[in-house]
Amino acid sequence: MGEIILKLKYDGTMPLECEVITPDTFEGKSKDEISALKVFRGPEELLLSDVFEISGDFTCSKENMVIKILGNAGNVKLIGYQMTAGKIIVEGDAGFHIGCEMKGGEIIVNGNAKHWAGREMEGGLLHIFGNAGDHVGSSYRGRWEGMLNGTIIVEGDAGYHVGDGLVNGKIIVKGNVGGFCGVKQNGGLIYVGGNAFRTLGVEMKGGTIVVCGKVMNFAPGFESAGIVRDFETDLTGYAIPNKLIVFKGDYAFYPKPKGKLYLSLSENSELLNDRMPAEERPIEFVGNALTVVLNTGSTIEEGKVIKGGKKYYPEYVKEAAYCEIHPDDYNLLGRPEKVKVISQDQRYSVVVYVKPSDDVLRRNAFIPRGVWANSIIDALSGSTGSPVYKGGIVYIEPSDDEVYHAEYIIDNIYKGESNGKSNI
């Protein structure tokens, strides 16, 4: 195979648009012709030779061509744009949109890749040996269809919106992924070797997502469909947990969705709902505290109090300073009058009254949205503009401490003073 070397000499901070760097574009061109190809720095037009020192074999076909980029190309965008054949090796980091709309061939990044790697990819292989930014294999802004085919492998972590709008193909992330992985997915396969954060598979209509680690802030539109030890999928050579919980969805958006999530049972046992046999619903205590999934939301009675201007009145305590849990969990805790609810990072806690309720699933808890719930809700919004009001992990334990009224919480806890840091 013939090799063309591009040694980066550009050291500016403004990104360059270099969609001409493909075997398709280089095929049949001499060194002078390749050197004269146009690239852009904002509105400014440059020559490829202004950016790279160019050398190598210029006689091979695109199928037999290897383009090797030497240097940190983190500010070089659109490498491999719409390429159909051949190979590109980036010996360092790669910029935005590497491999976007790629139809064939192979791209190897021996470093990290910035956002939009493999955007709307149609074929070929994109292999990133470092971390990747947001929107790996996703659709572009305003479009619904993302990656159509091909394979993307990320050896490290990836950011938000992995596989956004995925139609077909395979995305492998061996590390962790950010929020909205598989959002609007309609087909294909996403494998996550680590953890997944917030709203995994939301608006999913079809396809498969496998997560070997912890799923945080699980979306409410999925129904569990049992526990499996194995399943048919093209993941030969990748680690799969011995037991997986199967979920179908997203029923919050579609009446008959075909999306499937396969989640590690050992890492996500708290997501099992009441349809599962009791012996398959593990109970996890941390010290004296039971681990539960917290959901919050407004209630009609709470709304009446707030709209009536009685936020600092006893009525507000009655309608918002309580925690509903399943009767079985209430019995596990010793049937207390009050519980301390502790945030997942154990930095904050709040004491509320407890109410057993058959309307709440086992290992779940509900607190009306208000100052008590807000004391322990994670403020991280993940660029959504909304904190994690639903699906977060908290710990609850019996307590004899006082249930503070709203004015005290606002004047003290909201200003950074916790009403009792946990020792669990």
**Closest Cα partner for 315 from 296, 328, 329, 301?**
301
Q: Are residues 17 and 84 in the same domain?
A: yes
Q: Are residues 291 and 243 in the same domain?
A: no
| Global pTM value | 0.80
* 277, part of any domain: no
DSSP for 201-220 reads TTT--EEEEEESS-EES--T
Q: Cα(59)–Cα(2) distance, rounded to whole angstroms?
A: 7
Which structure tokens are listed for 158?
Answer: 């990836």
Q: Are residues 268 and 301 in the same domain?
A: no
Long-range contacts of the stretch 330-333 (C-beta < 8 A, 24+)? 330/354, 330/356, 332/283, 332/290, 333/290, 333/396, 333/397, 333/398
Q: Are residues 37 and 156 in the same domain?
A: yes
- For the ranges 104-108, 140-144, 296-300, 306-310, the lowest mean pLDDT is seen at 306-310
pLDDT over 90 percentage in the chain: 69
Q: Are residues 324 and 259 in the same domain?
A: no
CATH of the domain at 335: 2.40.40.20
Q: Are residues 333 and 239 in the same domain?
A: no
pLDDT at 415: 65
Q: Are residues 300 and 192 in the same domain?
A: no
- Exposure of 294 by Cβ count < 10 A (0-12 exposed, 13-18 middle, 19+ buried)? buried
pLDDT at 420: 41
Q: What is the CA radius of gyration of the chain?
A: 26
User: Does residue 302 register a pLDDT over 90?
Assistant: no
Do 184 and 164 touch, CB atoms closer than 8 A?
yes
User: Does residue 198 register a pLDDT over 60?
Assistant: yes
Consecutive H or E run containing 259? strand 259-264
228 forms beta bridges with 244
Q: Are residues 218 and 328 in the same domain?
A: no
Q: Are residues 239 and 335 in the same domain?
A: no
Average pLDDT over residues 38-56: 97
Q: Cα(98)–Cα(109) distance, rounded to whole angstroms?
A: 9
- For the ranges 7-16, 144-153, 298-307, the lowest mean pLDDT is seen at 298-307
Q: Looking at per-residue confidence, does 422 or 402 come out higher?
A: 402
Total domains in the fold of the chain? 2
* Residue 423 binned pLDDT confidence (cut-offs 50, 70, 90): very low
Consecutive H or E run containing 287? none
Q: Cα(91)–Cα(335) distance, rounded to whole angstroms?
A: 62
Q: What are 1-19's pLDDT values in tens digits?
A: 899 999 999 988 999 999 9
Q: Are residues 297 and 321 in the same domain?
A: yes
- Domain boundary pick from 244, 272, 300: 272
Consecutive H or E run containing 306? helix 300-307
Q: Are residues 249 and 295 in the same domain?
A: no
Average pLDDT over residues 217-243: 85
Q: What are 374-420's pLDDT values in tens digits?
A: 999 877 666 666 777 877 889 999 999 999 998 888 888 766 544 44
The range of the structural domain enclosing residue 152 comes to: 2-272
pLDDT at 199: 87
